[in-house]
């Protein structure tokens, strides 16, 4: 029975409670969280105002992992324990990761049949667990900014992420304690942010080149329907590859061998990334690189040379652009607008080459780093129920075909790529042998004809088939893809009604038991994590106090303090320095309080001296005029 919202006569109905929701762009290089505040979607910053959270997690022996800005330096100082660009590893096996290149400093270990793990001083961690740390930091930022817990989030993924990569992303969110309202393709989120659904009817191309992934999507907007016609891309192509070719150029110019230690190589990659960013606005960037033998190499990279280096990478993005136009059955003249998304689209050559391909100037109105998170926030606000009157309809597509293995190692595709989701498709199969009472179902994803050339997603068996002659049984296999692009498969023998099925959890995702174990661990160690955070906060505050006091003593200690007073302060300072690096935050707190008492008189004298210096040489009426 439905309930009506009523009020007393003459009394206005109470306003619906605003629900906190957020959009998260879990990026390769940087991540962001955004929310709708008032009528606008805005990205949320940390206490220092930083909007971008570097997707970097550093693991420490015996301590909580550290996430974000302050750890970027450790990418080259402590490369084995500082994980960056983890998005490129999501949903991949060790063999897949090795195909991405040999320049990763991490030691990957295979854990049984599950996903690979990265070995650190704090233990072995999967890409899902690393991503969960980034999501936890974004969750905390959003809750602080909004003043309450989140009821749901929309997390964006590359349009070309396959089922394993999408499932890994959802696992990471679950591990971070987030309720995922929807996984939203990044180009679709960007289109929402640009407001293309608000009356801008026509066909639009969304070109998304991020740190580690590339997507191109064709979307059509008509009468409130937001339809993705086709999508293509490469989930292992992005700004990291541009950094790599610049780093290889530096190695060659500086005469540094590729067998240099990882700290040296990561430092050069860091210089390469800075060079890429500098050359978006300047014509040349200079380097000073320390070689492994301690000598220095000084050089410069001009924009023309930079463009020659990266042109082949940008050209690789144009092949999917041609393919997506073909899949959508349109030409470049049918495109109304081209929207640029992702930090790598700041590069002038990218904008020039994309503009030349589509024969029009691309849209760059919104910060390409923020546009995806803003679009996700708008969608999250709708899905959580804050805008019940919004009738925007999203029709997304799956990026790769889904099918099953048939005899001879062939693939029978049930759902072709670029099919609108959510979708359900069924097809009938039969037995191969007389008396066959079971059938093995092997679910695969990809465009190739042979199973060996596609991605294996799952295997399960249908038992209880009545023994019949070959070809007599009728087995209906049903594929169902939800709005997140995640797959479930069922098989049913029609004469008996016996049925089995599986929600596809790729071997590179986390099992329910693993997720439950990790969540239980997070609750068990919640107190330890709070204490670790508190310790770090006191350590930072102690370091600041020590530095400030040392400057004050150098400036006026000899002038304002007697030898006895200076000795007392030095003693308190030494006591704080002795415990500042320890693991007892109460000892640090106590030592800081002792130092405050020891320096109180000194601080008062410094203040009086400053006032005296400021007043010297001035008349009273100059300072206090009538």
Count CA atoms closer than 13 A to 420's CA, side-chain side. 12
**Residue 25 is a catalytic residue:** yes
Q: Are 166 and 506 in contact (CB under 8 A)?
A: no
Q: Are 46 and 33 in contact (CB under 8 A)?
A: no
Cβ atoms within 10 Å, residue 248 = 16
Residues 130, 83: Cα–Cα separation, whole Å = 8
Beta strand pairing status for 152-157 and 180-185?
parallel
**Residue 554 is a catalytic residue:** no
User: Which residue in 162, 163, 186, 215 is the catalytic one?
Assistant: 186
Residues 130, 108: Cα–Cα separation, whole Å = 13
Region of residue 243 (left: phi > 0; alpha: psi -120 to 50; beta: else): alpha
Q: Are 369 and 375 in contact (CB under 8 A)?
A: no
Region of residue 485 (left: phi > 0; alpha: psi -120 to 50; beta: else): left
Q: Are 372 and 186 in contact (CB under 8 A)?
A: yes
Cβ neighbours for 481, distance < 8 A, ≥ 6 positions apart: 398, 402, 415, 419, 421, 422, 423, 424, 487
User: Which residue in 71, 78, 87, 514 is the catalytic one?
Assistant: 87
**Residue 87 is a catalytic residue:** yes
Please choose, from the candidates 402, 417, 414, 486, the residue with its C-alpha nearest in 3D space to the C-alpha of residue 184: 486
**Residue 208 is a catalytic residue:** yes
User: Which residue in 71, 78, 162, 208 is the catalytic one?
Assistant: 208
Residues 235, 28: Cα–Cα separation, whole Å = 11
The residues annotated with a catalytic role in the active site are 25, 87, 186, 208
């Amino acid at each position: 029975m439905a309930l009506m919202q009523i009020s007393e006569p003459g009394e206005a109905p109470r306003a619906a409670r605003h629900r906190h929701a957020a959009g998260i762009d879990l990026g390769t290089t940087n991540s962001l969280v955004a929310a709708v505040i008032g009528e606008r979607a805005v990205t949320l910053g940390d206490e220092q105002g930083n909007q971008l959270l570097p997707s970097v997690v550093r693991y420490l022996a015996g301590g909580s992992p550290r996430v974000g800005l302050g750890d970027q330096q450790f990418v080259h100082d402590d490369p084995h324990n500082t994980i960056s660009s983890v998005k490129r590893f999501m949903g991949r096996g060790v063999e897949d990761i090795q195909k991405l290149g040999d320049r990763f400093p991490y030691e990957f270990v295979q854990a049984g049949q599950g996903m690979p793990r990265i070995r650190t001083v704090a233990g072995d961690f999967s890409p899902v667990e690393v991503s969960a740390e980034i999501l936890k930091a974004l969750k905390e930022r959003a809750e602080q900014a909004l003043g309450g817990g989140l009821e749901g989030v929309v997390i964006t993924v590359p349009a070309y992420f396959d089922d394993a990569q999408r499932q890994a992303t959802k696992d990471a969110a679950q591990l971070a304690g987030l309720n995922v309202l929807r996984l939203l393709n990044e180009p679709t989120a960007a289109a929402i942010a640009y407001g293309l659904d608000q009356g801008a009817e026509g066909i639009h191309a969304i070109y998304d080149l991020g740190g580690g992934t590339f997507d191109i999507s064709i979307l059509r907007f008509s009468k409130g329907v937001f339809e993705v016609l086709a999508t293509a891309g490469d989930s292992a192509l992005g700004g990291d590859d541009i950094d790599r070719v610049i780093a290889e150029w530096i190695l060659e110019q500086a005469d540094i061998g590729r067998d240099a230690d990882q700290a040296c190589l990561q430092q050069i990659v860091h210089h390469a990334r800075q060079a890429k960013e500098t050359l978006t606005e300047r014509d040349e960037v200079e380097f000073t690189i320390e070689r492994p033998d301690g000598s220095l190499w000084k050089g410069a990279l001009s924009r023309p040379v930079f463009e020659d280096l990266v042109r082949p990478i940008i050209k690789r993005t144009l092949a999917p652009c041609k393919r997506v136009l073909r899949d959508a059955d349109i030409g470049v003249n049918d495109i109304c607008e081209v929207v640029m998304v992702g930090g790598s689209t700041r590069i002038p050559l990218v904008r020039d080459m994309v503009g030349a391909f589509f024969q029009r100037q691309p849209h760059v109105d919104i910060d390409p780093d923020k546009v995806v998170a803003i679009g996700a926030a708008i969608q999250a606000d709708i899905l959580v129920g804050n805008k019940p009157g919004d009738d925007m309809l999203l029709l997304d597509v799956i990026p790769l075909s889904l099918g099953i293995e048939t005899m001879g190692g062939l693939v029978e595709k049930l759902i072709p790529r670029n099919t609108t989701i959510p979708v359900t498709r069924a097809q009938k199969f039969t037995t191969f042998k007389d008396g066959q009472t079971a059938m093995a179902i092997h679910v695969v994803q990809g465009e190739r004809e042979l199973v060996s050339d596609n991605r294996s997603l799952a295997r399960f068996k249908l038992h209880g088939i009545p023994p019949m002659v070959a070809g007599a049984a009728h087995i209906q296999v049903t594929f169902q893809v939800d709005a997140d692009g995640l797959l479930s498969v069922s098989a049913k023998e029609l004469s008996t009604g016996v049925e089995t099925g599986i929600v596809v959890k790729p071997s590179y995702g986390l099992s329910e038991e693993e997720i439950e174990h990790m969540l239980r661990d997070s609750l068990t160690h919640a107190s330890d994590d709070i204490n670790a955070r508190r310790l770090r906060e006191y350590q930072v505050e102690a370091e600041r106090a020590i530095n400030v006091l040392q400057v004050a003593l150098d400036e006026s200690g000899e002038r304002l303090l007697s030898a006895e007073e200076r000795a007392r302060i030095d003693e308190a300072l030494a006591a704080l320095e002795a415990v500042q690096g320890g693991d007892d935050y109460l000892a640090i707190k106590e030592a800081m309080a002792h130092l405050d008492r020891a320096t109180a008189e000194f601080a008062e004298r410094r203040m009086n001296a400053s006032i005296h210096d400021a007043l010297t040489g001035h008349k009273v009426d100059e300072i206090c005029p009538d």
